[in-house]
A and B are shown apart, each in its own frame.
Chain A
Amino acid sequence: MLEARDLMVFFENALAINDLSVEVHREEIVGVLGSNSAGKTTLMNTISGLIIDIKKKEYRRGGERITVLGELKFEGEDITNAKPSERVKKGIVLSRERHPIFPDSSVGENLKIATCIRRDLKITERFEFVYSIFPQLKEISKRKAGFCSGGEQQMLSIGMALMPRPRLLLMDEPLLGLSPALQQHLVRAIRQIRGEQVTILVAEQFARPLLPFIDRGYVIENGTLVLMGTGQELMENPEVKAAYFGV
């Protein structure tokens, strides 16, 4: 479904992603595991196209020079230079890290704003879908999003990414800063989303609750691929255990 080949991303001369190739097949959950500054967010931004926008704005300001090399294909179509909006229309949607929502709007309005560019979708259907995965959001739909707890905001952030009906959902650190119970809850939600024919690519550094459920995983360090395998293989790998499970 998604094929990223030989990706390289430079911030000025610093290499954030080094010759990384990632593949995601239909209806898989694929994990990208790595510690801080491994390049997870940059990878997610590159696939969602956000980096194109960041690059453009940095260039206009005379700020950091960002270079993106490599090739991105989605369902066989070349999307290397597609704008974020085009990618959203094709079905690639990113839920950014640290649940950045629209704090002054209510939860319901946040979800509504998220459908803004898909004129072809029935909004009520999308609301039903998101509420079926996160029933809590329905209860707090009138509350101002900025007043919601971290967990609620995280659910909202994923819910917003689900509103434009993604076929490939990119999740950047969905478990960050959540309690173990909430993490379990979110992992269940992620599996439920996959059950609805949504393919998922999830970047996470705290891999323990997630690893049993991913089909395949890539472990990256300093932007370079160090290990790949099925979820089972990664769980049994001593290096992964040492690095990410603290065993």
Chain B
Amino acid sequence: MISSILVYGLVNSVILALIAIGFSLTFGISGVANFAYGGFYLLSGYLTWILLKYLGLPFIVAVFITIGAVGLLGFLIYWVILLRVRGIVLSEVIATFALGVGMLEFFRWKGFVTYEFTLPYFKKGMLLIADVPVDYQRLFIIAIGLALVLFLYIFTHHTRIGWSFRGIAQNERTAISLGIESDWTAALSLAFGSAMAAVAAISILPLGIISINMGYDVLLIAVAVGIVGGLESVPGILVASLILGYAQIITSMYISAEWMMVVYLAAIVLVLTIKPSGLFGKFKELEERV
């Protein structure tokens, strides 16, 4: 019992982190809360499925095309939609949320709702870890999660685009006075966040059937993890994922699986009342200092 809680709690935590990290990256850099995130996530799933099923592309090619295309879409959406409402937080949220709902309901309308919509496992089979059976796909998810965090660290510390990300995130006007373009950086942050939604989708969706409602759940997860951890902090995201991931598994084992969603909502309410900036966030503290 304990060992299966440990193993599946970890897998669940990594899944949450993978889902949340793109959302949080975009927000941390540009301040845009991309509420179309769930839409991007499902779009990635369906796009990969279409590339595999109808065009018969090799899996790895389909994966890279999907990541690239969804990233590009995020980039374009900044210039076409977000630019008009930039700076008005509520309008940003409404515009992206409407877009996300539009995407999800479009798929429902087009009939992407049957059991045939699944993505393939990277590799079939399973392993016993401390007597708990874990399939390879879940191990891949853990590996991809770690690789993504490592990639993000290297990218933000050793590339020029990464430097401009960190500059804009920390002090926008200073960054601009040093010649960094704030709109380009924000658009790129949206592209990166969307591409990460695609990475998450391609790794996680094979675990089940692709269903429209997942889009809404993904958004809720991204928001919940972000709020608990502090939206712009990568360590915060990781810790929050661990807390929520284990809390969920324990809830589902000792209470019932229907209560898993309640964990997120309770966590949001609890954190907002006790420490509104999240465990590792600093927006609130900054405001207090000013």
Which residues of A does B touch, CB under 8 Å?
Answer: 48, 50, 53-54, 57, 60-63, 83-85, 87-89, 93-96, 100-105, 109, 112-114, 116-119, 157, 160-161, 163-164
A102 and B177 within 8 A (CB): no
Interface residue from A54, A102, A109 paired with B174 (Cβ < 8 Å) = A102
With A53-B176, A109-B166, A112-B163 already in contact, 14 other A-B pairs whose C-beta atoms are closer than 8 Å: A48-B177, A54-B173, A60-B85, A95-B177, A96-B174, A100-B171, A100-B173, A101-B174, A102-B167, A103-B171, A109-B157, A116-B160, A117-B164, A117-B178
B180 and A102 within 8 A (CB): no
Interface residue from A60, A102, A117 paired with B170 (Cβ < 8 Å) = A102
Interface residues in B63-97 (C-beta closer than 8 Å to A) = 83-88
Q: Which 4 A-B pairs have the closest CB atoms?
A: A88-B179, A61-B87, A102-B170, A117-B179
Kindly provide the distance from the CB of B158 to the nearest chain A CB, expressed in whole angstroms: 10
B-side contacts of A57, CB under 8 Å? 86-87
Q: A60-B84, A61-B87, A112-B163 are in contact. Are A105 and B170 (CB under 8 A)?
A: yes
Kindly provide the distance from the CB of A160 to the nearest chain B CB, expressed in whole angstroms: 6
Of the listed residues B157, B173, B178, the one surrounded by the most CB atoms of chain A closer than 10 A to its CB is B178
A160 and B178 within 8 A (CB): yes
Q: How far is the CA of A89 from the CA of B157 in the complex (A)?
A: 23
Q: A88-B178, A116-B160, A116-B180 are in contact. Are A62 and B88 (CB under 8 A)?
A: yes
B178 and A114 within 8 A (CB): yes
B160 and A119 within 8 A (CB): yes
Kindly provide the distance from the CB of B49 to the nearest chain A CB, expressed in whole angstroms: 38
Interface residue from A62, A105, A157, A160 paired with B166 (Cβ < 8 Å) = A105
B176 and A50 within 8 A (CB): yes
Q: How far is the CA of A53 from the CA of B87 in the complex (A)?
A: 13
Q: How far is the CA of A161 from the CA of B176 in the complex (A)?
A: 11
Q: How far is the CA of A215 from the CA of B79 in the complex (A)?
A: 46
A-side contacts of B44, CB under 8 Å? none
B-side contacts of A112, CB under 8 Å? 163
Q: Considering only CB atoms, which chain B residue lies closest to A100 in the complex?
A: B174
B182 within 8 A of A: yes
Kindly provide the distance from the CB of B186 to the nearest chain A CB, expressed in whole angstroms: 11
A-B contact list, 24 entries, CB within 8 Å:
A50-B173, A50-B177, A60-B86, A60-B87, A61-B88, A83-B181, A84-B176, A85-B179, A87-B179, A88-B179, A96-B174, A100-B174, A101-B171, A101-B174, A102-B166, A104-B170, A109-B157, A113-B164, A114-B178, A116-B178, A117-B178, A117-B180, A119-B160, A160-B174
Q: How far is the CA of A63 from the CA of B87 in the complex (A)?
A: 10
Q: How far is the CA of A244 from the CA of B179 in the complex (A)?
A: 33
A-side contacts of B163, CB under 8 Å? 109, 112-113, 116
B-side contacts of A105, CB under 8 Å? 166, 170
Q: How far is the CA of A61 from the CA of B87 in the complex (A)?
A: 5
A-side contacts of B87, CB under 8 Å? 57, 60-61, 63
Q: How far is the CA of A112 from the CA of B166 in the complex (A)?
A: 11
B178 and A161 within 8 A (CB): yes
Q: How far is the CA of A48 from the CA of B175 in the complex (A)?
A: 12
Chain B window 91-134, contacts with chain A (Cβ cutoff 8 Å), 1 for yes, 0 for no: 00000000000000000000000000000000000000000000
B-side contacts of A53, CB under 8 Å? 173, 176, 182
Q: How far is the CA of A119 from the CA of B85 in the complex (A)?
A: 32
Interface residues in B137-171 (C-beta closer than 8 Å to A) = 157, 160, 163-164, 166-167, 170-171
